[in-house]
Amino acid sequence: MDYKNFWLIVAEDLKKTLPDHAYEAWIETLSPVGVTNDIFILEAPNQFAYDWIINNYQDIILSSLKEQDEKLQLKISIAPQSEQSISATDLDSQEPTKQSNPGRRNNINPNNIFQSFIEGPNNIFAKNAAHRVATTPGSADFNPLIIYGGVGLGKTHLLHSIANELIAGKKQLNVVLASSEKFTNDFIASIQENRSLDFSKVYRKADVLLIDDIQFFQGKEQTQEQFFHTFNDLYTAGKQIVMTADRYPGEMVGLQDRLLSRFESGLHADIQPPDFETRVAILSTKAKQNNMEIGGEHLEKIASHVRTNIRDLESCITKIFAHATLSGDRINEALVESIIRERLGDQGYGQANMQDVVSGVCSIFSVSQEEIVGQSRRKNIAQARQVAAYLAREVLDMPLSAIGVHLGGRDHTTIMHAHKKVAELLKKDNKFKRRVDIIYNELNLN
């Protein structure tokens, strides 16, 4: 797929659908990045544009994408301030110098620092591991470090925090931070322009290499090959490698076994969805950053309903701020409630239901809803499906046959077996129990 021309077609369709001012203010600011595993990736120019587009235009963009290709899903990210494709000039500028730390020239968000990361029991281990790496990069016990967890839980924030901490240090280090898409695009560009040595000069000369979202290497054999050799060179030289992923390395598919073996040899730190108190703290911090005065009761109301994604929490504050600023209305309960309903739908105000169960399981176990109700028998997916069946029985008290209908048309004996298997595993596996307890407690907040 020529993703740039494809986006021109979609954008033209959106231009016919949306008012001129909306199209010019928001859609025109988006840039196509590429297509990975049927995920069409767009970049927003900054955090504010990202939040507004996610809240107001994500669904209509996805709908237009699917009109052209129904298999496509949508991912919108934030464009790094200075991220560019490889060129000879850029490569030369990334060489270490005595005057300044070269890491400052990379796509590192200066606002993502350890001091602004709200810690809680869900992420304290990951934060401490990341801080340790930033303090003593290359330590054998923490190399490589993989931080994994669901979407919007703070993995990228920690990755940038490591980079910022290293840059602020006295020791001059070549810090290279890139998304998996950036690594892939740079590798492709180096082949097209016959500059493989230049590519190696950027990535294999790093003192610290930070790669975001390694799951997007899935299915890209040549990129994986290149990353394997990059990884080996750096690891052998005692250089620090940090990666983020949406799931535990052992649960990934589409990656070479030898890559997974190296990933599993390091330290793995998972981030779980934040608990209620941490969610309130995150909202309070976001409100202060926007110079917003919002009552504690409103923050608690948002935190009690938006439970599994920090980006969703922050986008609620952004949208409340935008509504209050543009309309001049006071921030009151009606406004807060309308934003939550708009974000979550009416089910966000009701009792827990089967959709809540499935969403919670998907977040904690890093699987998709399609996988939960599908036919895959992969261990991680089958286990997540069994947990959904268990919680539907324990929390919602649903009949076995009804649970089976919601989980892809499975019969009541399958659901009964799933319930029994999870109940037994809860008694033997403390880590598994902690994950299930997180979902159980969140469902009982409703």
The predicted-structure confidence for 213-223, as pLDDT tens digits, reads as follows 888 888 788 88
Residue 209, pLDDT score? 93
Of the listed ranges 113-117, 283-287, 331-335, the one predicted with least confidence: 331-335
| Residue 145 scores a pLDDT above 90 | yes
Of the listed ranges 4-18, 67-81, 338-352, the one predicted with least confidence: 338-352
More confident residue, 304 or 141: 141
User: What residues have CB less than 8 Å from 241, skipping those under 6 apart?
Assistant: 143, 144, 145, 208, 209, 211, 231, 234, 235, 266
Residue 1, pLDDT score? 56
Given pLDDT bands bounded at 50, 70 and 90, which one contains residue 89? very low
Distances in Å between the Cα of 61 and the Cα atoms of 5, 35, 343 are: 16, 15, 16
Residue 96, pLDDT score? 38
User: What residues have CB less than 8 Å from 119, skipping those under 6 apart?
Assistant: 127, 278
| Residue 322 scores a pLDDT above 80 | no
Residue 82, pLDDT score? 38
> Quick one: average pLDDT of 235-250?
89
Distances in Å between the Cα of 104 and the Cα atoms of 108, 130, 402 are: 7, 19, 56
> Quick one: average pLDDT of 258-265?
86
pLDDT tens per residue across span 162-194: 999 998 887 888 889 988 888 888 888 887 777
Residue 88, pLDDT score? 34
| Residue 101 scores a pLDDT above 50 | no
pLDDT tens per residue across span 287-296: 887 777 787 8
Give the angle subtended at the CA of 87 by the CAs of 86 and 89, to the nearest 5°: 130
CA dihedral 107, 109, 110, 116 (to 10 degrees): -150
> Quick one: average pLDDT of 248-269?
84
Q: Please state, in angstroms and rounded to a whole number, the distance separating the CA atoms of residues 380 and 384.
A: 6
Q: How many CA atoms within 13 Å lie on the side-chain side of 234?
A: 30
CB 96 within 8 A of CB 174: yes
Given pLDDT bands bounded at 50, 70 and 90, which one contains residue 437? confident
pTM for this structure?
0.58
Q: Please state, in angstroms and rounded to a whole number, the distance separating the CA atoms of residues 104 and 27.
A: 30
> Quick one: average pLDDT of 67-79?
84
CB 241 within 8 A of CB 212: no
Write down all domains in the chain, each with its CATH number in brackets: 3-78 (3.30.300.180), 102-271 (3.40.50.300), 276-349 (1.10.8.60), 354-443 (1.10.1750.10)
Tokens representing residue 434 in the block: 């902690």
Residue 313, pLDDT score? 81
Q: Please state, in angstroms and rounded to a whole number, the distance separating the CA atoms of residues 158 and 113.
A: 7
3-state secondary structure of 211: strand
